Structure 1
Amino acid sequence: MRLHHLEVTAFGPYRDTQSVDFDTLGSDGLFLLHGDTGAGKTTLLDAVAFAIYGAVPGARGEVKRLRCDTADPEVTTKVALELTVQGHRLRLERSPEYQRPKKRGEGFTTQQAKASLTWLDAVPDGQPREGLSRIDEVARTMQRLLGMSVEQFFQVVMLPQGEFARFLRADTAEREQLLEKLFATQRFGGVEQWFVDRRRERGRELESQTQQVRELLARLSQVSGNEPAEDEDHPSWLEELEKRGIRELESTRTEHAQRGRQRDAAEAKLAERREFADKVRRVRKANADLAELASNREQHDAWRAEQDAAQRVLPVLTARQSVDRSAAALEQARSELSAAAAACSEVGDDEPIDRLRTLAGAHREQAGALAQLLPQAEQQEADRRRLAELADRIEADSRREAELTAQQAALPERIAEARRELDESKQSELRLETLVPKLDDLSAKLTAARELPAAERESTTASQAAQRAVDEHQQARDRLQDLRERRLAGMAAELAGGLTTGEPCPVCGSAEHPDPRRPVDDQVSADDEERAQAVEQQAQARREKAAAEAQRAQQACERLRERLGEHTEEQLTTELADLTAERDALRDKAGRSEQRTQRLADLEASTERLSTQVAEVRTRLATSRAEHSSLSSTVDEREARLEEARGEFPGIGARREHLLDLAGKLERLVDARVACADAETRVEDQRNALREAATAAGFETVESAFAAERSDDRLTELSRALSEVEQRAAGARATLESAELSGVDPDAEVGLEEATEQATVAREAAERAAAMAHRAEQRHRDVAQLAERLRAAWAQLGPAQAEYEELAALADVVNGRGQNARKMSLRSYVLAARLEDVAEAATRRLQRMSDGRYSFVHSDAAGARGTRGGLGLDVLDDYSGKIRPAKTLSGGESFLASLSLALGLADVVAAETGGALLDTLFIDEGFGTLDADTLDLVMDTLDDLRTGGRVVGLVSHVEEMRQRIAVRLRVRKSRTGSTLVLER
């Protein structure tokens, strides 16, 4: 990589366009960017890094404020860089994302980031002639051309201020992370994890197989009832178990057949005895039923008489219901009369009804006179409520006045809090706008990752089709060549076939043809050759088409792989999910911007509003207090008049209600006395009708009629009992008269118990034999099946055990355990080897710059308390002959060691990436810590870096550096040659 020209506009401290000609500046291979502190020296290096990678090193990259704060709003922030990489000259232009004032209205809008790449000479294969304009495409192309990531670039090409010494002071963990980024050794960690995962997977499979064997042995022991001894050979035990099962099966089958024959004979004898016993039982039951019915004839007659009397009493019961209803009405009237008399306790029981009606009328006249005072009483209550309302309003307005005063005091703090929340929402909006391109880029990469497998399959299919087309075309060409050769061989015969007697020969011109050539066998004609040529041309067309399809499919795969870079679908999915979650959180905050803006505006407008509200509250307070005082006097005057009218009652309405209540109670007492006399007359009439109904039904008295009453359940019971008597008698007579039971003696002996006992014993013996035979047969099948599965499991377990032991031992070695003598994992071993190469390369520089005093010492010993080793880096002091930590070096010594280590890293990484890219090197670090002699040694080392055409750029504000470079390069002019002076 070699830089040619740099232009920066509104970038960092440069508000206008500034340009740097690196071709002129670096013509001698060494140049200095010199200027006062803050003049913008490091900004030029940031601009180079930003143009190539879109990022700047160190803490400056985290802030992401690249635009010049004093630049004109109409001027666009831009960095343009011309450089040559791998023989291709190109131009890069980038603009960062920043906030600019809106062209219309107030506020700011986001200027989106942009990037472009233009080829200034021949366009590389596979690249568009018009260049690139997508940020992600430019980034992938530059990383592919340079062959290194941005972290490697900042450690190899550009040694940023305050950053390149970090590797010297880093602890083991930080140094490991940096080395992994520089040398891309993550794949070795993947190898370690692969072995661990494979061992875990094989371990689970082996444990599953071992558990299966244990379960099969336990199942066999359970089925057979015989467990093997701990030291017993399991295959021999299994063979003996199978033989024992066969013997047991044959024995149980013989026993089962014998017991079955004995059971069948006993059951046949039992069936015969049961049939005879059933006939004897039926005859005995019929005789017993007839004897029982004859003995209970009187009871049956009584049931019939009871049923008849219950039917005749039904009209009497209907009359009784009428008497009961009249009696209930009488009791209700008496109860109401008692209640009305109790309510009028001041009236005697013998008081005439006319006197009671006169007294009720007098009470109602007094209530009418009190009705005229009700409006004043209601007004009095309304005024009292108004007084309470005014008191509540006065109290509420007093509290409101205090609250408004407190709000006025707290308003400045609330306004400040609202402004802080609004700033947070605006910052979220800015951050959200930066995430959108990243999300689009990740989405495009994820789409490419998902499309890649199908594209690879399509490419493979297209390549295979192209190969088939090549074979077919070659076959067609061979066929055409063969036909042409055969036609040439028979060309004379073909010409002879066109000769005519007397006509000149087309070859020699003679009209005589003494000996024309005869046609040969399998003659090839011109038509045959033309058809073969057409077939060959078609095959060639198919070949070219298939080749184009294969090339297109391959290019599509390459574009997808280039877009993906080192990313995987899983990584992209995770990153996309994380950024999506962050975007959603920022959207939530940014979505409140309008609400928070309105809230701030409301709070700022609250000052005048609160003042107006305080004045309004105070005005209401004065009005309410005046009204309360006036109304209170009026209520007191009216209360004296109403107190005399209500007497001992709480109010006019209460006394009036009392008089109306007395009148009502007297009127209800009169009505109750009249109703009670009417109910007594109706009860006497209904009782006379009841006695007449009993006599008509054939009963002597009402009580005898009531005694004949039966419930519905009893009537149903009587009907069912009489029906059963008739059915039993008919059934018993039909049984005795049947031909089947003719001649059966009811007193005969059956002998059923003995036959039943014999059949039960035979059946139980047969069932036991059958169960034993079934169990033996099932046990035999189970043992056979389990034995087959156990032998198959034994056959698989042995190789699996051997494979797991071998894999476990190898996984331990790769991960730094087991037979690994150094106890270093594969990744640690590779990183230690790289660090050792770096230490050797850095030692050569450090010894020269320290005049042979210091050299680096690499250590692969384990760290304290068993921490990972292999990445130790100390310094050997030749003056004392002792190894000391690098952190004990002084400021100048630390600078020499850090510079040597950074150059050593650059050499090793350059070797890793091919060594042809590092034509330019920038160093931005504190040369001011060095004395004159040490500075000479450093300058000698930097002179050596210029060999081979390399350009070294230094950044320093130290005047002595400027003088020494000028002396070395014999440059006297301040803005020409190899020194660039920067002024603020």
Structure 2
Amino acid sequence: MRPIALKLSYFGPFESADIDFRNFIESPIFLISGDTGAGKSTILDAMSYALFGATTGSRGPKEVRSQFATVEEKTQVTFYFEQGSHLYRVVRSPEQTLMGTRKVRDQAPEASLAIVNGVNGKELQSLASKPKDVGLEIAGILRLDHEQFKKIILLPQNDFSRFLKDSSEEKKKILKKIFGTEVFEDFQSRLKDRYILAKSADEEATRALQTHYQSDTWTPEEQDKIEDALEADRLEETVRGLLQVRKESHELAKKAHQEATAERERIDALYQTGQKLARDFKSLEDLQADYQEQILDKADEQAEKKGRLKQLRWAEQLASDIAKIDQARADEKANRDKLKVLQAESQDQKKAIKDLVERKSELFKREREIDRLREELKKLPTQIFKAKQSKDKQDKIDQAQLELSKFQAQLKENQAQKEEQSDRLAQLEENVLDSALLDAEKVRLDAMSSFIDGQLKPQAANCDSALKKAKQLEIKWKDYQNKLPQLKEEFEQAQREVQAKERNRRQMMIAQLQEDLVEGQACPVCGAEDHPLAENGHRVSNEELIDLIQSVDQAQAQYDQKRSELDVLQESIARQEEDFQMQNKEYQDYQDQLNASYKQFQARFGGEFSDDFDLAAIQEGFKEQKDSFEAKSKQNQELQAQAGQLKASLQELDQALNLVQKDLNATSSKIESLEEEIAELDVKVGSQELEALQSDCQKQVQGYEEQKEQLESQLNKNQEQLSNYQGQIKTLESTLADLGQVLEETGRKLAEKLAAADALTHEEAVARTWIDADQELEELNRQITQYETHEERLKKDIQQLEESLSDQERPDLVSLEKSRQDSIKAAEIQASQVTRAEVAQAQASKEFKAIEKILSQQADSKAAFQSLQQLYDAMFGKTGGDKLDLETYVLQSYLEQILSYANAHFINHLSNNRYQFELPEEARDRRSNRGLDINVYDNETGESRSTDTLSGGETFIAALSIALSLSEVVQNSSRGVPIDALFIDEGFGSLDQETLKKAMQVLEEIGENRLVGVISHIEEMKATIRQQLVIKKTGNGRSQVKVSV
């Protein structure tokens, strides 16, 4: 990082300052000088704040704002710097109170970061626009955080020796960042994960291979053959040979089973044929019995049904004539009844018409009176309009009288209010507070808030977070430890279960072999022909054997899983313990930082806070002070607001008094004008009486018109209805004549049919009963047809069975069933033999494929695992006597380069050959976590000692040597962070003249290829260094910057 330009606005003592660091390229070093308190360190604070949002000291972000800045003047820092091939511009503003468009408001912190093409040039790319995002981007660009920046590039006053005296862990964090060695840590982590997985897979493969060789699939004799075979020959010669033997046994069993199955199928076919023949003999007997019972025995009943059917069908030909006669008689009666009703209705209509004519004549006598009322209605609207005008004007007079009284009362009330508010305004103006005291209190509270939010609160949060993480890691570590006994027990239980199920499988296979033994035949295992234990064996089904084999496989899988889980858990316990110890150390470091910051807080803001840090109590105390201040401010604002409101109110009251007086005069004039208009109208009768008269006349005329219209309408309707009745009467008389003729003709035809010689009855009543039995007719038809169809089907079925059985005898089904059962049992025995042989072959094939697969995988992964193990041992210090891991080894190497360069170029020269840097002995053996501590070797005493024992001046030259050497080594490292600048704030006052001269020579040497800035008030340095940035006080807390080259 190389600074290019810095612009300040209302930052610290600077109202405005533009610093171009390109002015200091003529000489290798430049001096920042000026009066004490002028703001020399503020230049470094500004760069630190622009990059990280924090200063080099204890000042919070809010405190960088100039004390003399007003609400119209904004505090802002703009910093240009180079990193790599890019020029960056970062702009940052703290939280501050500024004037908005209408009122004063608090403005939140602002920040932005961009790549530009020059100072004050065009923005090429925006990288971030929020403070948080800017901080993340800066950390990524510089590869340093704020604390590391202060230890490497910008060495603050009284803080420049921190890297020299930091612990190994703190040095490790810094060196990792600036040399970019995180890649080694990441590599180690990934390598470790990969090694654990590979090792577990290799061990698992070896265990699985041994499990398959010792599987209960193999008989004890087969296991002995496998065990005796050479490792290279076990699969292809021994296991493959055993598999071939089982395949041949399976083929023999399948052939025997096929022969037994063919015999069973032949006997089963004979049995099925016999069963069919027996069913046919039984069917013939059943059909013959049905023919006797349902046909021959019911012949007489069937003849009676046919006679009854003949009667009903004969009666059907008379049905239409009888129905026609019945319908004509019913129509004749209905029409005669309707004729009587119409004749009566016609007489009633004639009477009603006569009555309506008389009423109409009586109504026409009122026609003259109605004409008079119509004339009266034409005059009334004009009279009513004038009466309403008069009434409206009188109402307006009454309303105006009320308004007049109201205006008079309001005028009096407004005058009283004006006197009262004038007194209150004078009293409020006396109680308004002085704002200068409130402004001073606000500055103090802002500083306190900035310190709490910027330092105490984040540091307390870091402590809480680190402690929480440590407790979580401890809980997880103990949780893993608590799980270990249970997992061990589960592993041992799984091991016992595998052993027990393997014993059961061996016993079941022995029992299955015993079932196949035949007395006098050789045993396939031992060859003996005598089998004394065969009858005592338990009969085992194929299903039981297959279930047990699957159970053994499942138990073996459970055993393998528990073994793997146990290995992973033990590895996790060790890893969690290491993580817990590291997290606990981080918590202690955060706690030390918090304690130091709290002491600074107590020193600045008084002793009202407890000696023991309590963030809640601090925030509560701050809140109480802030609430008190805000209450005072609020009260003052309220008093000022009330006074302003009263002044506005008085102005409004004056305006209201003038308006009320105007309204009063206007209302009086209005009343006089309305009274004159009423007199001109000269109205005698009110509008309500006239409107009532108008309504009564309208009702009489309307009633007359409606009554007249109703009488004429009703008379027309009655005359029309009478004409309608007379037409209907004439039609009915003609219909009755036609119906009489139909009855006479149809009755004659029916009598002729009943009197015929072939008639089944001569009685009309009997014929009517036969006609009404229509449902009986349908049922008789159905029953007769069903009987004849059933008779034909039975005759046909009996004939067919008699023809097919004419040359057959009844079969012996008992004998056939016995032969069938014997053949089924023989086939099942052979099927059992096939299943056992098939299971044995499948198990052997499964074991063969599993062994083959494992050996194939091992062949591919064995060499890779061995190479990985060698790499793992080397990276984690497990080879030889060196126990140092890769990252620490690399960092020690870098530190040794730094110390060697410092010894060769700086410390020897600056200490007159007295001191040399070296690593402590416990760091040299590379077996200690103090591997990055730094000692000095004292050539005068011949002993090595800690840098903590150096005096103030010696500490300065030692820290300066480390800082300069670190800068040079990093600059020359291909992976290091480029360090193109170095700023040192004071410290030279502790050096004697000779050492100061040597220090200046050293700074000039390294300044040849980087920017070196020094803050000092020493006169010798002012006289020696030509390039200077001079800070001068101008009074009133202000300073100016001047470049002197």
TM-score of the two chains, using structure 1 as the length reference? 0.45
TM-score normalised by structure 2 residue count: 0.42
